[in-house]
Structure 1
Amino acid sequence: MKFPSEQLSTFAAVLSEGTLEAAARTLHITPSAVSQRLKALEQTAGRVLLQRSNPAQPTEAGEVVLRLARQVAQLEADAGAELGLGASGPRLAIPIVVNADSLGVWFLQALTQVAAEVDVTFDLHRDDEQHSASFLRSGKVMAAVTATPDPVQGCRVEPLGVMRYLAVSEPAFAARWFSDGVNPGKLNTAPTVDFDRKDTYQWAFVQSLASTPAGESIDVKGPRHYVPSSHDFGSAIRLGLGWGLIPEIQCQQDIKDGTLVELAPGRPLDVALYWQRWKTASHVLDVVSDTVRTVAAQFLRQP
């Protein structure tokens, strides 16, 4: 079975842009031509590949073809670069999924260095590091910063280091809610700031304290604010909206100058991060991986 390159690139464009019309504009062809290419691709595959929703989504079979489409595009771009051929179309976009804290602390520095070395653009997806591996499985991305040490099929994985988080709050908030000291029950009673409903770090921290011999059983989550922005998440805690876990590198100075209070000194929450990428041989992915590894070592705790 052979899939024509133009059909694969059209399929990938539809999923990247979200609609047939947007893909047509990107490819400089008509929506009718996009539709015809998709129909021919599905005939070749012998099954439906695209859910024609808004935005468009791949079916389970479509995820397999999407991985192939992006791998072919990557190989073509690498071959063109090695042959010294100028780009005949848009720059290759590298889709990567990364968690919000890595994005806010160190990851953009790595991408800036890559962009200075190779002629690519980046299509970043933000998701919790506990869930980002699913983007690799679906073919939506070529690489991921993830908390999953087990390699996704077709990928290889390497450790990046440990992101350390500290439980902190604004001093007046701490005086109001923890005047008699901090324990799991009081932490759970006080308003908590979560990034979103996938964010389990604050709850995991409460549970970790409750699991100690002097701890107590906590079964139900207390009151929570949801602030889905890394910068605004920290601002919400600094303004006294609630307590939460902030990367050590982002709150050390605040603790020193008294803007924030560390609620449980000596009890950090450490999250191991990993880099997963396709096994496909690629100069661009090699450069990205090498740079990510080097920059991560400057910001993350190393074992």
Structure 2
Amino acid sequence: MMPDLPLDLVRTLLAVIDEGTFDAAAAALHVTPSAVSQRVKTLEQRTGRVLLLRTKPATPTASGEIVVRFGRQLLQLERDTRADLGMSDEGEPARLPIAVNADSLSTWFIPALTRVPDIHFELHREDEGHTTALLREGLVMAAVTSTPDPVQGCLVRPLGHMRYLPTASPDFLARHLDGPLRAHIADAPVVVFDRRDDLQDRFARTRTGGRGASHHRHHIPSSEGFVDAVAAGLGWGMVPQVQARPRIREGTLVDLAPDHPIDVPLYWQQWKLDSPTLAAAARAIHDTAAQALDQTRP
């Protein structure tokens, strides 16, 4: 450990970030809140930078994110080294925090995790366009993202494309989309995952020449609930092909534009860390993605 960043101080900073408050970190570390505060201040004095915003929950500054990321990498290397040496780690399992988008989590991602049974996964659900923020903050060691631009200190590999189909229930189609799609799609009620979800707007713009989806929209922040809402006729929506195909075959969903899906590229970003735990998970996720995702360029 470099002399200016003692491990006990770094561990304390991680505890505050993970637990959210100084009091909760103190309980986790079995010390007093004043001891936690003093350790964080000492670490800030040694680095010459403010590392924490004293909010609830506490959040790292840009400098704090660097120290948090360093601390998590160091602790992971320590765990891997102890495992390689056959040393007891007091029952502490290998733990791997990963950020993943909801649609991947509900379709192909979980089978990948079953290929590495000796790891305890801590999944953070986030939109694929924003999972890199968790990497940058040091909250996760790896992420499924939609950007090929690597976070500092990370490497990137393509996973494939997740295909989305514009779908609606037959009844909804008859009530709201009877006629040319371009004339009605921008005004029809729509289902979106959350306020970051722009897939429906992207599709609508391709059909209308620039208009996004309707402001009459329902926010359903659940992958399974989203599909159920579209099938129930609440609105139209972009559904992952793997979830849409069975319902299209049974007649509960209709593909509104069979020749115009939207393909979202997915990438695997992970720390540049020589970690057997991270390497094993990456292999399993790449192998599963190779089978589950479209590997051709749209």
The answer, yes or no, to whether TM exceeds 0.5 is: yes
* Alpha-carbon distance in 2 for matches of 1:169, 1:28: 54
Residues 91-146 of structure 1, C-alpha deviations (whole Å, 9 max, x = no match): 343221111101111212222332x1x3x432222221122222222222211100
Which blocks of at least 5 consecutive residues in structure 1 are unaligned? 211-215
Alignment match of 2:261 (pick from 262, 265, 268): 268
Change (3 A) 1:196 1:11: same
Change (3 A) 1:205 1:280: same
Cα drift, residue 175 of structure 1: 0.6
What is the match of residue 213 of structure 1? none
What is the match of residue 70 of structure 2? 68
Alignment match of 1:224 (pick from 217, 225, 228): 217
2:86 aligned counterpart, secondary structure: coil
Which blocks of at least 5 consecutive residues in structure 2 are unaligned? none
Q: Is the 8 A contact 1:188 1:223 kept in 2?
A: no
Letter in 2 for 1:153: Q
Letter in 2 for 1:107: F
1:236 maps to 2:229: yes
Cα drift, residue 159 of structure 1: 0.6
1:259 aligned counterpart, secondary structure: coil
What does residue range 1-303 of structure 1 map to in structure 2 within 5 Å? 2-88=4-90, 90-114=92-116, 116=117, 118=118, 120-183=119-182, 185-210=183-208, 216-218=209-211, 221-303=214-296
* Alpha-carbon distance in 1 for matches of 2:33, 2:120: 25
Cα drift, residue 156 of structure 1: 0.6
Q: Is the 8 A contact 2:181 2:207 kept in 1?
A: no
Cα drift, residue 50 of structure 1: 0.9
Cα drift, residue 224 of structure 1: 1.2
* Alpha-carbon distance in 2 for matches of 1:20, 1:91: 25
Change (3 A) 1:93 1:26: farther
Letter in 1 for 2:228: S
* Alpha-carbon distance in 2 for matches of 1:70, 1:89: 19
Cα drift, residue 209 of structure 1: 2.3
Percent sequence identity is 49
* Alpha-carbon distance in 2 for matches of 1:104, 1:294: 17
Change (3 A) 1:103 1:63: same
Q: Is the 8 A contact 2:154 2:272 kept in 1?
A: yes
Residues 60-115 of structure 1, C-alpha deviations (whole Å, 9 max, x = no match): 1101111111111111011111011111374343221111101111212222332x
Q: Is the 8 A contact 2:161 2:264 kept in 1?
A: yes
Change (3 A) 1:286 1:220: closer
* Alpha-carbon distance in 2 for matches of 1:273, 1:41: 37
1:180 aligned counterpart, secondary structure: coil
Change (3 A) 1:48 1:91: farther
1:253 aligned counterpart, secondary structure: helix
Q: Is the 8 A contact 2:22 2:33 kept in 1?
A: yes
* Alpha-carbon distance in 2 for matches of 1:54, 1:92: 29
* Alpha-carbon distance in 2 for matches of 1:22, 1:121: 23
1:189 aligned counterpart, secondary structure: coil
TM-score normalised over the length of structure 1: 0.92
* Alpha-carbon distance in 2 for matches of 1:59, 1:89: 33
Q: Is the 8 A contact 1:165 1:268 kept in 2?
A: yes
* Alpha-carbon distance in 2 for matches of 1:250, 1:71: 36
Change (3 A) 1:192 1:285: same
The ranges of structure 1 where at least 4 consecutive aligned residues each deviate by more than 4 angstroms after the TM superposition are none
Letter in 2 for 1:134: A
Letter in 2 for 1:242: G
Letter in 2 for 1:169: A
Cα drift, residue 22 of structure 1: 2.2
2:162 aligned counterpart, secondary structure: strand
Letter in 2 for 1:206: A
Equivalences, count: 294
* Alpha-carbon distance in 1 for matches of 2:224, 2:210: 32
